[in-house]
Structure formats: C-alpha cells, structure tokens
Structure 1
Amino acid sequence: MNKKILVLLLLVVAIAAGIFFYMKKGEEQVAEKKVEEPAKEMVFHRGNGSEPGSLDPQISEGVPSSHILRDIFEGLTAEHTDGSLIPGQAESWTISPDGTKFTFKLRADAVWSNGDPVTAHDFVYAWQRAVAPATGSEYSFLLYPLQNAQAIAGGEEKDLSQLGAKALDDRTLEVQLEGPAPYFLGMITHSVAYPVHKATVEAHGEKWTRPENIVSNGAFKLSEWTPQSRIVSVKSDTYWNKDTVKLDKVVYYPTESQTTALKRYRAGELDWTYEVPNDQIKWIKENMADEFHVTNYLGTYYYGFNMTKPPFNDPKLRKAFSMAIDRDILTTNIVTAGEVPAYAFVVPGVTGYDPVYSDFKAKEQAARNAEAMKLYEEAGYSKDNPLEIELRYNTSDNHKKIAIAVASMWKKTLGAKVNLVNEEWKVYLETRKLKQVTQAFRAGWIGDYNDPNTFLELWLSDSGLNDTGFNDPEFDSLLKQAGVEQDATKRKELLMKAEGIFLEANAVAPIYHYVTKRMVKPYVKGWKSNVMDHIRSQYITVEK
C-alpha cells in the first residue's frame, strides 16, 4: 500500500477516535450535571386577601384563615376538587336510622406531623375546646347540633364530658346529636371541627400555632409566617394521602389591596389572586379573559347595623337606610362580575329551601326611596336635621368603592352625613365584636355548608359572630325546633319563618350575593370552581 495512503488512513482513524472520545466525555459530563442538578420545587404562589387573625382551628375566623387551615389540617370529612364530600381522617362512618348518631372509624395511617397517631381522643379534645366558654371560639355555634354543645357554650352545663362526642377507642368516635342534622357531614369540614394536638396546645398556649411549634395533620405543614408579607406551608411527609400531593410548597400572600395583587399577578409574582379590583374588570375581560375566572359563590355581602345603641336601635331608621341602597346600581356599575342584588340573607338556590325576601323587593327604587324618607322623618331626622353616622369597613379597594357609593345614596336620598372609617382586618373584626363604636358596618357571610341553617344560625342571640346584637326569642326558638325536626318540609317551613323575622327586623341590609372572581395562570392545573370556593392546594399542580 502506498505510504501516503496509509498515513492518510491512520490520520482519519485517529481523528474519528478523538471525536468519539470527546463526544463520550461530553455525554458523561452532561450526565454528571444532570445528577448534580437538584430537582426544581413545584411552588404555588397564592394570593390570600387579608392577614389571618389566627391559624388556631377553634379560634380563627375569616376566609383568609380558612384557605390556609384547609391545607394544613384535615377533619373527619373533606372535599374533592369539585367540593363534593369525601372521607378525610375518617375512612368510614355509619349513621343511625333516626339520623342522630354518627360512628366514625379513623384511618390507621392518620398521623400528626410529628409522627404521633391521630386518634378519636384528639377530636373529642378539639370539640370540647371549641364549645368551652374559656376558649372564646366565635364558631362554637357550628357545633350546636351536638348533644349539650349549646348548654356547655352558654355556661348552663359545666361538664365538658357531657358533650355528644365520645372516643370508644383510639380509632372509633361516636357522635350524638340533639336531632337529625342533614348537613352535619358537610359542616364538620369547617376548621372549628378539626382535631388539634393536645400536648402541643397545652405546652405552648397561645403560641402553639407558630411555625416552630405547630403540629398539624393536613397535606401541608406550616414552615414560615412573616406578618403582612407571606405565609409558607410545605408538603407534609406524614399525611396519609401524601402520594397524591404534587406541590412541594404553597406561599400565601396577604394583600389587602386588590389593585396591588393584580399588579403582582401581571408581574408573575402570583399564580392566583384572591379576587380582582372591581374597576379593572372591564379591562380584564378585554385583555386577559382566558385567565379570569368567575363562578357562583354561596355568600351574601351586606351592611350590618348595631342594634344595641342609638341611632340604629330604631327599627324605622334601619329600614330607611336599607331601602335607600340602590342595589341595581351597585351590581351594574360598581361590582360587575355577575353579582346578584340581594333582598334575602339566605342565598336563593340553597338546597332544600324556598327563598324569603324583604318586603320591599318588588317595589321600584323610586318608591323605596320615598318610603325610606318617610321612615327617616318618623325617626326624627330630615334633610334640615340630618343624621351623622360612621360607616365602617375593612381595608380594601373594593369595599371602599362600595362604601363611597352607598354613602352617596344615603346623602342623596335621606340627606344623611356619612363618615367612612376603614380599619385593618384584625382590628376591624374586634371593633365589630365589641359593639361599642360601630354604627353601620360592612360584612359578608360565606356558607360553611350547603344548607339554610349556615346563614340563619349566625343570628342566634348567643352566636359569637352576631355583631348586630339582633336578639329575638322567637327566632331562636324556631331554629332550635328546626334542629330536631325530622320532617324536611316542616323543617324548611320553620327556617323560612325564622328568616322572615330576621329580614323584618332589618338588622342587616343585604346588598348582593357573591360570585368568586379571580385571576389564575394557565399553568395552574388540578382545581375546579365550586359554590363553596373551597380550593385545597393538595389537588393543584403548577405546570410551568
């Protein structure tokens, strides 16, 4: 063979060998990089409204707290993505033929975040804690269907062991009700019915919910709480259903300004907003319609009147101020996502109920205004002798715009002078509760379960959330009768009569029935709208 050809062949072989070596080396280096590169966390950045007042299941109140508590705790029952009822910490239950006794069997793999088993005793402890007067739970009334719960909460029965909840053994809980409560299984998805870890509560007192102390039993566990900045929960490695949880972390952002929240969403800092500013809805529909989600919501937005002090201890004045609110203008020009003008407190369409409305619903607004002025004058006021009041609301762009509009209506129709007062959420709740300086105030109620009782029990004379001071013995009696009535038709009639009494008193002015309205990034998957707006992070994935 020619020497030149041989040298050329050897050179080609050498080059090929070199290329192969470097390609192989490159593959190995890439493989090494892949091994060394940590897996990216799946994080959900969730707007969450106001700063939660508390994350103690038996003490907390307000929707912002509830969203977080549903992630870090779990009750006997839970909810699927569509809001339908499913087993939670209880794997099964039986119900007595008369509907008054429930026997729950807890899961063998139900475990606290510190590794302790969740037992029936934990539920008994939590429920006794909820109704004990010393705890000061504003939601103790939710457990009134339990035998002796109302007597204990009212101080008539001192022995907590008389509550209708008994641990037959570590995994068996027996619940005795005062009467059949068809909504009971849905009701106990509420945080007041979550179990709490007794040793942790007793060891740390009021500080037991701090991230360094808290022991919980939900799909996530609390890892950080920076007030007015962010709250962080991470996936729990002890949750019984952890294999179905895809998120590694949820970051909740308390942002009272809806305008600020929308800006953060558009900047990519939020994957999900708590709600949206009403004055931006038109722009959102025109520019980001595919990310704007609106759905019916089981709730009522209303103004309450403090009935315990002048001037709103006068029923004529309360009715005058309620009638002078033009709900159609508010839902057409101020809140524009499909909210419905409200003339009832129980949301029309609730299961097993016929709507009951205020007696002025059928009148035109001009006729309402004329009657309102007449009542206003009968109460001792006129445009020459105007009433001056405070209208209080918690800090929020949307609440402020509604308050400005309503104040203008009251001034135009009645001549009343209205001073607007806004307060940060926790301060506002406490002010309302004390009933010392409140006159008229903004409020909203979201049903805790799909039954009229969840709206009416709020106004029991001993309800911790009855911030109007409404107190009617006949109303209380009707709700008590409905609580033990087994005939569905008779129960409905009792509840409808009770709502009629409440609406006639005009303790509140229902304004509109809610819809949820929020922005959601297209890569947020696994969630479904539901009328309760119970969106649990355990079902969500972030597919960026």
Structure 2
Amino acid sequence: MAAASPALAEAVLHRGNSGEPTSLDPAHISINIEGFIIYDLLEGLTIFGPDGTIKPGAAEKWDVSEDGTVYTFHIRENAKWSDGSPLTAGDFVFAMQREEDPKTAAEYATLLYPIKNAEEVNTGKAPVDQLGVKAIDDKTLEITLKQSTPFFLQLMAHYTALPISKANYEKYGNDFVKPGNMLSNGAFTLQAHVPNDSLTTVKNDNYWDAANVKLDKVIFYPIEDDAAAIRRFEAGELDTVYNFSAEQLKRLREKYKDQVHVSPSLSTYYYTFDMTNPPYDDVKVRTALSMAVDRDFLTDEIFNGAYLPTYSMVPPGMEGYTLAKPDWADMSQIDREDKAVELLKEAGYGEGGKPLNLTIRYNTNTNHERVATAVADMWKTTLGVNVQLQNLDVASHYAYLKQGGKYDVARAGWAADYADPENFLYLLLSFNKTFNYSHYVNPKFDELMKKSYTQQDQAERMKTMNEAEQLVVNDQPIAPLMNQAELWMISSRVKGWQDNAVNDHRSKFLSLSE
C-alpha cells in the first residue's frame, strides 16, 4: 500500500482566540478577537502586512490628489468574491454607505468621519448617497475627504471599510454572515461556526493571491479560560494562544523560549467611571480612586514587567506626540495615597464621611481578575472603599458598556486601529455614543479635537491634541493604568509570524512546518 505524500496533508492552523465573536458583520464588531477572524474572511483596499505596515490589499495601487483630499483606488482586475463573481468598486460604496447609514447603527461609524459627509449621513442630516465615496467604474473607486487625513490609508485597512457583496446582501439581508451565505473576498471563507466551540474557515480558491496562501484551513477556538488554552497549547492542540495569564510568563519562557511572544503594542489598559452615576460625577472621587492605584505593582507583580505603568490615555510611540500627564503622576505612591484620602474626604467620603461602596466590572480573564482584585485591595486599604467584583464574558461585557448600561467602575482596553493619537482621544468625544463609556462631556475638549481635524501642520495638530488630552487627565473620566504588551504563544511549527505594534496577524501570511 502506497504511503500518502506529506505534501498532500491538509495544512490546518488551530488558533486560540480568547472569546466568542459578537458578530461577523463588519458593521457590528469592535474588539480584536473579532478582527482576527474578519481579516481572514474580508480584505480592504489596503491591509496591514506581517510587520504592521500598510500594503496594497484589494486595491493594487492608488493615486492621491495634490491637496490630499481625493484618493482614487484601482481595484485588482483578478479580485473576486468566493463565488467567482467580480469584486467591484460598487461593493465598497455599498458597504461604506451601509456603515454610515444611521439605520445600521454601526458601532464604529465615527471611524470613517474623515470621509466627506460621513458625519452628516451618520447623524441623519444628509442622505446616504451624499457620502464622498463613488464608483468611477467597476474597478475604480474615488473617495473624497473633508480634509487631508494623514492616517487615511490605515483607516482603509480597518473592518469599517471592508467590502460587502451588494448582490449577496440583497439576497440574505443581515443573515449574509452565516455559514453557507457569507461571501468572502479575503484569503479564507467561512465553512462552519459552532458558537462557544469553534469557527472554521477554509482557503478561498477565488482569492486574488490564492497561489501564495499556504494554509488549507484555519480553526478559531473561543477559549476564555486562558489556563485551559495553555493546556491545549502544551498538548499540541493549539498552534497559537492569545492573551494568556502573565502569571505563567516565567514558566512558559523557561520551557518554550522563543515560542513566547511579548509584543509591545499601541494599546492602553484603563478603568472607566460612569459619570452619569453619582458620586462618579465628582472629579474629586474619580481622581482619588485613580491616584490610589499603584500602577507599578500591577505591572511588576501581575504582568511580570510585560506591561508598563501609564497616566495617559494615548500610549507612547506616536511620532511627534508628547503625552499629557496629571500633575500627581510624578509624586511618590505614598504621597499620592495621602492626597487621594484628602480628596475623597473633601467629596464627603471615607473616614468621618459616607461609606463608598462600588463594583468593578471586568471581562472574564485571569489577568483582568487579578488586576481587579489588586485594585479592590488598594482602594479598601488606602481609602476604606468597599469593593465588589463582577465579571461577564467579553462580548457581553463590552455590549453592556456600549449600550450605556449603568455601572460604577469598569475595565476597558483600547488597541490602536491606526498609529495616531486621535484614535485614542476620539473615544472621549461627547458625540461618540459607542465608545465613550464614561459619558464624558467637555465642550473645550470637543472643540480642541474639532480644531485638530482641520490642521494641516502636523506639529500644530499634535500640540492641539496634547492640549485636549491634558483636559482628560485633569478630569479623569477614565483612569489609564497600563500600556499593554500583547501576549502570544506561537508554536515553533508556525512560520511567517511577526510581532507588530498594531497586533494584526493575518493567516494568509502564515504557514506550517511539521
């Protein structure tokens, strides 16, 4: 009996994904574990390459007008949908109009506001056909911006700008993302999805670059229990694990060496206060709670130095930007704690005042639980606050925050969609109903951010955003705690993996060795 040739063995990548996606509809996703999946299925005009830099995607090239406000994208002639039908400029027009249509209620619609009339369309002040996106012909797409936007090509790689087959959407409506219905223009297509168990994608033979895709199948496993994920990695059942417990970092490094990846990223781990919920509408209460958190303890003891303490919403590493810090950031932790006690007393809480009872909400994860437990102990010991903890799965946790649910304090994190301070500061704009979890309203902040959108001089623009961030650190609607590193386990049999600051890792760039 002849032996099967190893070359004919199916190449299957098993990816641990640390949570169940809320949706596969690009208009209704907002967290990285959803992005990891959707970027395998759909491809934008541009993409992030393995090193995190922008590269041509569905568009092979583009032209930009002299004033930087008109982009003309030339879509690849051989770009198709997974059913063999051509990918057209009209599919991008349809998807972006749908994203901005207020009826869609897309959580991330504000990301495309640099496009002419996007804000007006999204707020119901203009019809969708006024959006500055136009199909010149089937393979030529023209996008007109309000003003020059330095990070626009990065936006076009984001899931808000992914195409949708108009014909397929008209056939299935919002069920277009279900297995058997969904069409892909990316390297893989959706084969099966068993919620809370697995999501299976297979190679798309109609993908324009299919000849260079080395994997036959990618299976995502939504494992929130990171200890279970590591056990499965060690048993050889998973090839990648995302966001494992930092408590295991030393052991894993000793045993698996360079299969452990600690990748610095443009991301911030923070706690947010519900400013519509007294007493968190009082800046003294918010500041006292923020000051009492020993960030060095969190980074050193919980994350083994893989994360760094921060007092700014914007992470370091943004070219030309100076971080804003509160005036107490340079105090010793002991002095901070003394000042925090004073502030809380002035607000009527603590010793001699009213008791402060609060709940910290966080999404289920060992690291987040350990942070919440440590912070609760700091607040109890320093300020006499009584703290309870409440956790939900990642999809439910963020859905609750995005839908405006009442809370006291909640864990949140943000990773850059594009390397610009605006991507972090825009979360706190008063009109950002989706991601402004604290319901922060500061007209001066809104005004400065609005000004930054019109400034052509990069140095002046950065200075304006620094002024805006200074207002945020003074008001403390959020307590920035740490700048994150992304923690990955990558099996030595996975080839082509590169750590990058945007934490974008498309399976099309990966292969397996036995």
TM range (shorter): over 0.9
Corresponding residue SS for 1:223: strand
Q: Report the TM-score, using the length of structure 1 for normalisation.
A: 0.92
Q: Is 1:431 aligned to 2:400, yes or no?
A: yes
Farther off after superposition, 453-462 or 412-421 = 453-462
Alignment of 1:395-414 (within 5 A): 395-414=364-383
Q: Is 1:504 aligned to 2:474, yes or no?
A: yes
Residue 337 of structure 1 and its aligned partner are, at CA, apart by 4.4
2:413 alignment counterpart: 444
1:233 alignment counterpart: 201
What is the number of equivalent residue pairs in this alignment?
512
Corresponding residue SS for 2:26: coil
1:421 alignment counterpart: 390
Residue 38 of structure 1 and its aligned partner are, at CA, apart by 9.1
Alignment of 1:261-272 (within 5 A): 261-272=229-240
The code of the aligned residue for 1:72 comes to: L
The whole-number CA distance in structure 1 between the counterparts of 2:482 and 2:7 is: 50
Residue 430 of structure 1 and its aligned partner are, at CA, apart by 2.1
1:527 alignment counterpart: 497
CA 263–89 in structure 1, closer or farther in 2 if over 3 Å, else same: same
The whole-number CA distance in structure 1 between the counterparts of 2:351 and 2:19 is: 38
The whole-number CA distance in structure 1 between the counterparts of 2:479 and 2:83 is: 47
Are the counterparts in 2 of residues 281 and 337 from structure 1 also a CA contact under 8 Å?
no
Q: Is 1:320 aligned to 2:253, yes or no?
A: no
CA 368–34 in structure 1, closer or farther in 2 if over 3 Å, else same: closer
1:129 alignment counterpart: 98
Query: Structure 2 unaligned runs (5+)?
Result: none
The whole-number CA distance in structure 1 between the counterparts of 2:258 and 2:91 is: 44
Residue 34 of structure 1 and its aligned partner are, at CA, apart by 4.7
1:227-274 CA-to-partner distances (Å, cap 9, x unmatched) read 111111100011001111000000111011111111110011101101
1:215 alignment counterpart: 183
The one of 95, 110, 126 aligned to 1:141: 110
The code of the aligned residue for 2:223 comes to: T
The whole-number CA distance in structure 1 between the counterparts of 2:233 and 2:305 is: 19
Query: Structure 1 unaligned runs (5+)?
Result: 1-28
Residue 203 of structure 1 and its aligned partner are, at CA, apart by 2.5
Q: Report the TM-score, using the length of structure 2 for normalisation.
A: 0.97
The whole-number CA distance in structure 2 between the counterparts of 1:38 and 1:104 is: 38
The one of 74, 83, 94 aligned to 1:114: 83
Residue 74 of structure 1 and its aligned partner are, at CA, apart by 0.3
CA 414–510 in structure 1, closer or farther in 2 if over 3 Å, else same: same
Are the counterparts in 2 of residues 224 and 232 from structure 1 also a CA contact under 8 Å?
yes
1:458 alignment counterpart: 427
2:224 alignment counterpart: 256
Are the counterparts in 2 of residues 337 and 515 from structure 1 also a CA contact under 8 Å?
no
Are the counterparts in 1 of residues 326 and 474 from structure 2 also a CA contact under 8 Å?
yes
Are the counterparts in 1 of residues 284 and 344 from structure 2 also a CA contact under 8 Å?
yes
Alignment of 1:54-69 (within 5 A): 54-69=23-38
The code of the aligned residue for 1:377 comes to: K
1:151 alignment counterpart: 120
Q: Is 1:95 aligned to 2:54, yes or no?
A: no
1:9 alignment counterpart: none
Residue 199 of structure 1 and its aligned partner are, at CA, apart by 2.3
Residue 290 of structure 1 and its aligned partner are, at CA, apart by 2.8
Residue 465 of structure 1 and its aligned partner are, at CA, apart by 1.4
The code of the aligned residue for 1:416 comes to: V
1:312-367 CA-to-partner distances (Å, cap 9, x unmatched) read 11111111111110000011101114211011111112123122222211110111
1:309 alignment counterpart: 277
1:271-290 CA-to-partner distances (Å, cap 9, x unmatched) read 11012212211212222223
The one of 79, 90, 104 aligned to 2:73: 104
The one of 457, 470, 490 aligned to 2:460: 490
Are the counterparts in 2 of residues 183 and 451 from structure 1 also a CA contact under 8 Å?
yes
The whole-number CA distance in structure 1 between the counterparts of 2:447 and 2:238 is: 47
The whole-number CA distance in structure 1 between the counterparts of 2:397 and 2:312 is: 25
Residue 409 of structure 1 and its aligned partner are, at CA, apart by 0.4
2:252 alignment counterpart: 284
Corresponding residue SS for 1:156: coil
Q: RMSD of aligned C-alpha atoms?
A: 1.4
Farther off after superposition, 261-270 or 428-437 = 428-437
The whole-number CA distance in structure 1 between the counterparts of 2:407 and 2:105 is: 21
Are the counterparts in 2 of residues 431 and 438 from structure 1 also a CA contact under 8 Å?
no
